[in-house]
């Protein structure tokens, strides 16, 4: 799979580390049937460039390169309150000398607070040009187009990046990740039995699937849904994976069985805390010193923990967790993750 024909900005000068997590694995095993569990490792995509890192950095390497090639002076994107994608897009804009505008969808009524900590502090610090808040269920593509039209009326040129950076071009970032992971495993003599990744706007999960299928990496990927259960999520991921494969000219169909997701760990709603997320965030922080965020990686790790306890992974199997970042939003949920914020959903 040749990515060299696509323009790309480089925001990370190294392959993100793959690390074993022996203390976490032992703590997890103690809660699994028979006191035995999988050997859990982690790929630190939270250490990617555009501080403080995260999966969107890989997508933006291709998207921002395209924006620059088209002569854009402003990036326009969308997300929910505390959006990691918006924050990293703004960081990329600052790095490239571009302006940036957001459309924020208030998916949970009352959840947007302009003076909030976490990513909202970063929005203000890095100088977002405008931030427009719309109600849940709004047509986000139309809202972003209005921003681009406003820029055009001023003689400026906007470049629209979809939520999560999730389109075929952005998905190339996780094809690159698949190739990076394959090389790391070869160099270190590693073999994983499962890969666990978040599954939301579908760009990360779909790009990784396309990369694994295209590079013939025979390791099953399990996506843990952060906003949808499998019947809604898997068709989106399959569509994204196929779009990435088509963009690469692979002339192949992504097999539906290559796409698997699990649900139930994101409720009661997207971005709202639950007890399993709190357990996962505390468990990893207190065994390995690695923070997770409450909206994405905390719930994804809760999924890995739940699958292990249900016997999904055989004792001793090696499971790789893709840490997709999101650290700043953790500071907006301090009381919750410390167990001092009142009741959360079970």
Residue 332: band (very low, low, confident or very high) from pLDDT cuts 50, 70, 90 = confident
Residues 116-141 have a mean pLDDT of 95
pLDDT of 134 over the 70 cut: yes
Report CA-CA distances (Å) from 110 to 133, 200, 231, 234, 346.
11, 22, 29, 30, 22
Peptide bond into 52 cis (omega under 30): yes
> What's the longest Cα–Cα distance across the chain?
67
* pLDDT per position as a tens digit, 39-49: 999 999 999 99
* pLDDT per position as a tens digit, 237-282: 999 999 999 999 999 999 999 999 999 999 999 999 999 999 999 9
Q: Is 276 helix (H, G, I), strand (E, B) or coil?
A: helix
**So what's the pLDDT on residue 346?**
65
The pTM for the full model equals 0.95
All CATH 3.40.50.1100 domain ranges of the chain, comma separated, are 18-54+168-337, 56-165
* pLDDT per position as a tens digit, 190-247: 999 999 999 999 999 999 999 999 999 999 999 999 999 999 999 999 999 999 999 9
Q: How many CA atoms does the CB half-sphere of 113 hold within 13 Å? A: 9
> What percentage of the chain carries pLDDT values higher than 90?
90
Closest CA relative to residue 291, chosen from 223, 338, 227? 338
Distance CA 36, CA 34 (A): 5
Which residues carry out catalysis? Answer: 83
**So what's the pLDDT on residue 110?**
86
Token readout for 335 is 């009381």
**CATH topology assigned to domain 18-54+168-337:** Rossmann fold (3.40.50)
Closest CA relative to residue 37, chosen from 287, 233, 234, 282? 287
Between residues 65 and 82, the one the model is more confident about? 65
**Any idea which residue has 């960081």 for tokens?**
91
CATH of 56-165, one of 3.40.50.670, 2.60.40.1760, 3.90.1150.10, 3.40.50.1100: 3.40.50.1100
Report CA-CA distances (Å) from 57 to 12, 116, 329.
8, 23, 16
Q: Compute how many other C-beta atoms are within 10 angstroms of the C-beta atom of residue 255.
A: 11
């Amino acid at each position: 799979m040749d990515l060299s024909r696509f323009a790309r900005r480089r925001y990370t000068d190294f392959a993100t580390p793959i690390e074993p997590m022996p203390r976490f694995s032992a703590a997890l095993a103690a809660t699994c049937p028979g006191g035995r569990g999988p050997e859990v490792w982690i790929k630190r995509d939270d250490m990617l460039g555009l501080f403080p890192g995260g999966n969107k950095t890989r997508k933006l390497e291709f998207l921002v390169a395209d924006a620059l090639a088209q002569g854009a002076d402003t990036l326009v994107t969308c997300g929910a309150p505390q959006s990691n994608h918006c924050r990293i897009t703004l960081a990329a804009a600052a790095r490239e000398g571009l302006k940036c505008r957001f459309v924020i969808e208030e998916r949970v009524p009352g959840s947007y607070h302009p003076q909030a900590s976490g990513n909202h502090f970063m929005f203000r610090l890095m100088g977002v040009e405008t931030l427009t808040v719309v109600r849940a269920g709004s047509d986000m593509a139309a809202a972003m187009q209005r921003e681009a039209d406003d820029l055009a009326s001023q003689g400026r040129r906007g470049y629209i990046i979809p939520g999560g950076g999730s389109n075929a071009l952005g998905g190339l970032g996780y094809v690159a990740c698949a190739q990076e992971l394959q090389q790391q495993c070869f160099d270190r003599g590693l073999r994983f039995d499962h890969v666990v990744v978040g599954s939301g706007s579908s760009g990360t999960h779909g790009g990784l699937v396309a990369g694994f299928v295209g590079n013939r990496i025979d390791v099953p990927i399990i996506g843990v849904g952060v906003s949808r259960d499998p019947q809604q999520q898997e068709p989106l991921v399959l569509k994204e994976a196929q779009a990435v494969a088509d963009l690469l000219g692979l002339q192949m169909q992504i097999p539906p069985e290559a796409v698997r997701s699990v649900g139930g760990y994101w409720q009661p709603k997207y971005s709202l805390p639950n007890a399993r997320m709190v357990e996962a965030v505390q468990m990893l922080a207190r065994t390995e010193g690695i923070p997770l965020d409450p909206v994405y990686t905390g719930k994804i790790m809760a999924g890995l923990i739940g699958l292990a306890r249900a016997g999904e992974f055989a004792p001793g199997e090696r499971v790789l967790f893709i840490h997709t970042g999101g650290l700043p939003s953790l500071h907006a949920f301090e009381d919750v993750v410390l167990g001092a914020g009142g009741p959360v959903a079970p």
